[in-house]
Amino acid sequence: MGVLDRFLSSKKDDKQEIWDLFDAGKSLMESQFYDRASVEFNKALTLDKDFASELIVDLYMEMQG
């Protein structure tokens, strides 16, 4: 596996990890564990700020109704 293949594969893995962290954060928010949810969202932001920010903004808009 070449360097580019490993890089692209790691990006896909990061996206899946961000989705997992986002889902965990959303579940924690629904259970009113806001401080723990923010930890999960911050972990996602460290992996890919732009992608995670989009998910968090979408969640915020969804919650606003």
pLDDT digits (tens, 9 = 90+) for 19-44: 999 999 999 999 999 999 999 999 99
Query: With left for phi above 0 and alpha for psi between -120 and 50, is residue 2 left, alpha or beta?
Result: beta
Q: At what angle do helices 49-64 and 34-47 cross, to 10 degrees?
A: 140
The pLDDT value given to residue 65 = 82
pTM here?
Answer: 0.77
In angstroms, the CA 43 to CA 17 distance is 9
